[in-house]
Amino acid sequence: MANLGELLPGAVVSAATKVFASQAAPTAGTYYSVMVDFTAATHVIYQVTNTCDQPVTVQAIGNLTNNNTTAGLIDGVIAVVPVNGIVLVQIDLDDWTPYNGLQIIIPAGITLGTVVINAITRS
């Protein structure tokens, strides 16, 4: 199996970095991932793994500074992650901001599982 560097000659692909991990059976609410520095990248891909017993929603966010609580929503980049599902969310140059991340919306009533998000960049 080829790695991303072989599939995309000349591309620099970062190692996967964990940017969010919920507690077990997370409490309902809105949470934010760590922001990813997008200044030298052309793409960011987030892998969202939901082992909870309910779907969760993620929305891409962007900011001019490395601050997830003052970030704005990036239009059109939203995903519902199904029960025991994995969804990839990609942000590319069309949605560029110097820093971006994900807003995670956890519904009420989750009794088990976690949400984990890993990110890689490509430049």
76 lies in a domain?
yes
86 lies in a domain?
yes
Residue 68: give its domain's CATH number: 2.60.120.20
Whole-number pLDDT of residue 30: 96
- The tally of domains found in the chain comes to 1
Encode pLDDT of 51-88 as tens digits.
Answer: 999 999 999 999 999 999 999 998 877 888 999 999 99
Task: Give CA separation, 108 vs 14, 23, 28, 29, 56, in Å.
Answer: 35, 14, 5, 8, 10
What range defines the domain where residue 43 resides?
18-122
Task: Kindly report the pTM of this predicted structure.
Answer: 0.87
Structure tokens belonging to residue 28: 């309902």
